[in-house]
Amino acid sequence: MKFGKEFAAQMVQEWKEAYMNYNHLKTILKDVLRFRKLRGAPSPEAATSHGSLKRRASLYRAFSGLAGRYRGSPRKSEDEVILVSAVQESGGDEHYQTLFLNASDDGGDYELVFFRSLDSEFNKVINFYKKKVEEVMGEADDLSKQMDALIALRIRVDNPVVGGSNIANLPFHGFSSVSESAVHPPINSRNPGWSSMEVIREVEMSAEANSEDSNKGTNNENYKKDMETFRPASLEVLDFVKINVEPETPVSTKKKVILNSNTGLSYSKEGLRKAEELMNQAFVEFYRKLRLLKSYCFLNQLAFSKIMKKYDKITMRNASKSYLNMVDNSYLGSSDEVTRLMERVEVAFVKHFSNGNHRKGMNTLRPKPKKERHRITFSMGLFTGCSAALLIALVVIIHARGILNSEGAPQYMDNIFPLYSLFGFVVLHMLMYAANIYFWKRYRINYAFIFGFKQGTELGYREVLLLASGLSVLALGCVISNLDMEMDPRTKSFKAITELIPLALLTLLLVIIFCPFNIIYRSSRFFLIQCAFHCVFAPLYKVTLPDFLLADQLTSQVQALRNLEFYICYYGWGDFTARTNKCSGNRVFESFYFVVAMIPYWFRFLQCLRRLFEEKDSGQAYNGLKYFLIIIAVAARTAYELRMGMALKIFAAATSGAATIMATYWDIVVDWGLLQRDSRNPWLRDKLVIPTKSVYFVAMVLNVVLRLAWMQTVLGFRQTPFLHSKALTAIVACLEIIRRGIWNFFRLENEHLNNVGKYRAFKSVPLPFYYENKRI
């Protein structure tokens, strides 16, 4: 793989614009090379002696030391090509500037442009790095104060007799005492026989051990100075601390609204356990930020090394050594704050949250990347092939036996088809989600971060395709077995068993979803259940992006929800052994037919109200108005579908038209961020992930066309001579699911670009302790 592609693949995508623009500098060097070829300069391929094996080893040479980075004899003073200097700006920051000494040579103008661009990129990188290092140092101070409060809370909860309200502890630069983790291990890992005398002995032994480790294992003077300093960690900090560890529930939401204040400090073991969980998450996320920041520093240093060696190769000059010496001596190459902070986080986390188990602590801080398993690909291919074979067999059976022209065809379409079409809707939605994941990964959209998946638990497109194809095999197998049992004289009398096959399949699906055992992607299933629960109690939970995205998916699965209602009616009040139902004309069924269609939009309406209350964003008011208008339109369409009548048709058409126009505008302009007249890409937006602009225009047209299919009920296309009304309804529902799949891709693309614009690459973890309405 070429370095440019490897460099882009390893970037933190939300920081993409803060990295060195390697491709831009490479383009300038191509101009230099083109000019030199026109002037008849020697080819760099002929002049260089670098072999392919040595080029492959360049990644190692770049950071293995100055001796291994460069080749050849030392340069003389007359060989100097550039002079690099640091200029102090008015704000105290350093601005690096390169003086090209051979600007009068042929092609010197091109090289001068290269060095100006190189300086601009380097200053951009180093300023961003300094800013991020300052941020993490501030966060380290916050975590240190949080740990002080946590240690004091541990002491208070256990209430050891150590003489007064103070206990000697050893401070740890940027964090609380390492020794205290031995004195006060996490509450879940303490031994029952732990006593106050052990506290005193552990303090003395841990202090002595840590002093020895610091003298042997580090040469940093600041570290030694901190490790030699003792200070008492007073329990009085608890008098000024409030704690916010109560999980967000409907009850806690009501308390916050009524009381409008944080809870006081709880000295219970349950409160301590929740505080430790929050601090554990905060440390893990903070360590991840440090790792990515260190990777950012490494990759940019490597990129500058690569581009300068490419410059030397093209121009046959020796400029790289001077420039890379400057890079090494700059803040980017010489600062070690991030590395030292990572070491301190590791030691503090292992001792405070892993009970001294280094392997366990590091596995938590550095979760192993998810591996692609061959058995997943094999199983996916197997089930996909089986699904295709079963689908072909089903078509052959229907045509060979003339089922569509038989007397029982209308009865089958009215009673059995809605039962099985539910699984078709679910499979289609899963296929669209798998396609979304594939293209999100292809265009480097960080969907796992946007959804908030725990690292290593997110499903890839292969896993989703495996689940979709597996469900497809079960559903198609049940359809064929149902038809075969009905046509076979030996099993034709078993009508009850035949009709119960769809119910058995639905029951199996629900059992798998709610299965508590760690099988079939339990973390993903529970994440889905949690989001669904938040949707049901929408106004009582803080609305996150996965919550309202799931509610958006449900708005495209209205027909599936109605089919679930039909399951209850068919098996509860109908005579399924005779394949008849009493749903049509039933007042209760018709009432729920209204309600079920409006439930997803009602969830979104309540979520908009909650976000308006919390975020004070007027855009949520307009979004809520959109969903309220859709609720009215859905109610009018449902009433017209059940009752008919010209007045209902006019009202349904008017409300549906208004809702369609507003929803389409919101999809394209707000959710996708397109149709910006003054953008760099006319009528699109400034930043695009897909290089082919026509894709966006095609997506906008498809969104409008598929939105119009939503109005098929009031447009008079409820029946056709070659399609049953149930089949037409299913086709329209499938079109809406396809539209939702297209919407999902561009919605997350826009969210990703917003994160990129704000350099937002980490999720915020709430800290448990507050001091005077501020986090300590």
Identify the pLDDT of residue 351: 87
CB 18 within 8 A of CB 759: yes
Both structure tokens of 706: 């598929």
Among the ranges given (58-62, 105-109, 510-514, 716-720), the one the predictor scored with the smallest mean pLDDT: 58-62
Q: How far apart are CA 319 and CA 305, in angstroms?
A: 11
| Residue 71 scores a pLDDT above 50 | no
Would you place residue 548 in the very low, low, confident or very high pLDDT band (cuts 50, 70, 90)?
very high
Q: Which helix (H) or strand (E) holds 774?
A: strand 774-775
Cβ–Cβ under 8 Å, residues 451 and 583: no
Structure confidence at residue 523 as a pLDDT band (50, 70, 90) = very high
Contacts of 325 (CB under 8 A, 6+ apart): none
pLDDT band at 671 (very low <50, low <70, confident <90, very high): very high
- Of 191-200, 279-288, 314-323, 571-580, the one with minimum mean pLDDT is 191-200
pLDDT of residue 43: 56
pLDDT value for 99: 85
Our CA angle for 536, 542, 548, nearest 5°, is 55
- 175 touches 143 (CB < 8 A): yes
Q: Band the pLDDT of 639: cuts 50, 70, 90.
A: confident
pLDDT value at 724 more than 50: yes
Q: Give the chain's count of helices (H) and strands (E).
A: 31, 7
The 8 Å CB, 24+ separation contacts for 384-389 are 384/465, 384/469, 386/469, 386/473, 387/469, 387/472, 387/473, 387/476
Question: In terms of DSSP bridges, do strands 94-100 and 82-88 run parallel, antiparallel, or are they unpaired?
Answer: antiparallel
- Write the Ramachandran bin of 403: left for phi over 0, alpha for psi from -120 to 50, otherwise beta: alpha
CA 427 to chain CA centroid, Å, is 23
- The fraction of the chain above a pLDDT of 70, given in percent, is 77
Averaged pLDDT, 161-169: 42
- What's the chain's average pLDDT? 80
pLDDT digits (tens, 9 = 90+) for 549-607: 999 999 999 999 999 999 998 888 877 777 777 787 778 888 888 889 899 999 999 99
pLDDT confidence of residue 229: 41
DSSP state of 669: I
Which helix (H) or strand (E) segment is 328 a member of?
helix 320-329
Contacts 24+ apart (CB under 8 A), 716-720: 718/641
Surface-to-core class of residue 610, CB atoms within 10 Å of its CB (0-12 exposed, 13-18 middle, 19+ buried): buried
250 Cα distance to chain centroid: 26
- Beta 94-100 vs 774-775: how paired, if at all? unpaired
| Residue the block writes with tokens 């891709």 | 745
> Mind spelling out the 3-state secondary structure of 365-379?
HCCCCCCCCHHHHHH
**Can you tell me whether residue 232 is helix, strand or coil?**
strand
CA-to-CA distance for 324 and 309, rounded, in angstroms? 10
Return the DSSP state at 99. Answer: E
Closest by CA to 690, choosing from 440, 510, 482, 409, is 440
CA distance 429 to 468: 9
Measured CA to CA, the distance from residue 301 to residue 305 in angstroms comes to: 6
pLDDT (mean) for 475-492: 76
**What integer is the mean pLDDT of 517-528?**
93
Q: Are 241 and 769 in contact (CB under 8 A)?
A: yes
Q: Where are the alpha helices (DSSP H) in 218-249?
A: 221-227
Distance from C-alpha of 148 to C-alpha of 156, rounded to nearest angstrom? 12
Query: What's the confidence (pLDDT) of residue 675?
Result: 92
Query: What sign does the CA torsion over 105, 107, 113, 115 have?
Result: negative
Give the mean pLDDT of 202-221.
Answer: 42
Report the pLDDT value the prediction gives residue 721, as an integer from 0 to 100.
65
In one letter, which amino acid is 15?
W
Q: Which helix (H) or strand (E) holds 742?
A: helix 725-757
Write 432-436 long-range contacts (CB < 8 A, 24+): 432/737, 432/738, 432/740, 432/741, 432/744, 433/464, 433/741, 433/744, 434/461, 434/464, 434/465, 434/468, 435/461, 435/741, 436/741, 436/744, 436/745, 436/748
Could you identify the residue written with the tokens 């799949």? 741
Higher pLDDT, 260 or 505: 505
Integer CA distances (angstroms), 525 to 514, 520, 531, 546, in order: 8, 8, 10, 13
Strands of 90-241, DSSP E: 94-100, 166-169, 231-234
Strand 231-234 and strand 242-243: pairing?
Answer: unpaired
